[in-house]
Amino acid sequence: MAGNRAVCRMKASSHGFTLIELLIVIAIILILIGIALPNFLDAQARAKVVKTEGDMRALELCIERYFLDWRVYIGKFQLRRLTTPIAYIREIPEDPFGPIQSSDYGYQSVLNAYGRPIKRFYIYHGPPTFDDHPDMVRLGIRWVLTGLGPDGGWFDSPNGAPRYPRYSPTNGTRSRGNLEVVGPGQIPHDKYRLFWD
């Protein structure tokens, strides 16, 4: 009988968590989310950058193989020629940061080249874009392949003048700018931009 009274007293005095205890647990969970979420988002951006660099390297090899076979580079926005009549690549990879934003200065040129709905393809400029520019001829630049980068934009036109910002992971993984490959032959894009912009 005395044992039953002790159990009844114990049941009556235990009544769950207090409001303060629940708030502390929620605060701890929110702090952990606040720490983990930015790292997760940065990891996604880094993974997309790595995919873009890999895709652009594959496209660079295909563009150069096409040139070796035909002795001419494909024209601007003509990446599809790498898939037919000879398949240098099975399908054109899509830019993980695409499609280009409709508010972007270069949206209309991409729309005119690729049509509706707007595609997520990389932006390719080949002949005749650089054929008559003396600095491009001197540097041997025949084509440029551009990935949109984490900001999803091609141009940056703060005062109406188109500029192409460069992506740099040192500015943070979610910084503005494009990723570029300049060819033929691994020409550093900063040399290209020095004369082209």
| AA identity, residue 144 | V
CATH number for the domain spanning 182: value is 3.30.700.10
Answer yes or no: is 116 within a domain: yes
Answer yes or no: is 97 within a domain: yes
65: helix, coil or strand?
A: helix
pLDDT at 15: 73
Residue 20 reports pLDDT greater than 70: yes
Locus of tokens 């399908």: 91
What percent of the chain is predicted at pLDDT more than 70? 82
DSSP string for 2-59: HHHHHHHHHHHH-----HHHHHHHHHHHHHHHHHHHHHHHHHHHHHHHHHHHHHHHHH
Answer yes or no: is 6 within a domain: no
Answer yes or no: is 11 within a domain: no
Answer yes or no: is 121 within a domain: yes
Answer yes or no: is 173 within a domain: yes
Report residue 149's pLDDT band, with 50, 70 and 90 as the boundaries: confident
Answer yes or no: is 86 within a domain: yes
Apex 111 CA angle, 165 and 183, nearest 5: 50
pLDDT at 8: 52
Question: Pairing mode, if any, of strands 123-125 and 143-147?
Answer: antiparallel
E strand or H helix at 181, and its extent?
strand 179-183
Assigned token pair, 106: 């270069």
pLDDT at 84: 87
Q: How many domains is the chain partitioned into structurally? A: 1
Residue 158 reports pLDDT greater than 60: no
Range of the domain at 45: 17-196
Answer yes or no: is 135 within a domain: yes
In angstroms, the Cα distances linking 171 to 37, 165, 194 are 19, 12, 20
Find, among 140, 136, 125, 133, the residue nearest to 74 by Cα: 125
- Rounded average pLDDT over 133-159: 80
The pTM of the full predicted model, rounded to 2 decimals, is: 0.75
Residue 44 reports pLDDT greater than 70: yes
> Average pLDDT of the chain?
81
pLDDT at 25: 95
pLDDT at 94: 92
Least-confidence region, from 48-57, 118-127, 138-147, 184-193: 184-193
pLDDT at 66: 95
Locus of tokens 């440029």: 144
- Rounded average pLDDT over 81-85: 91
Distance CA(141)–CA(151), nearest Å, equals: 26
pLDDT at 3: 54
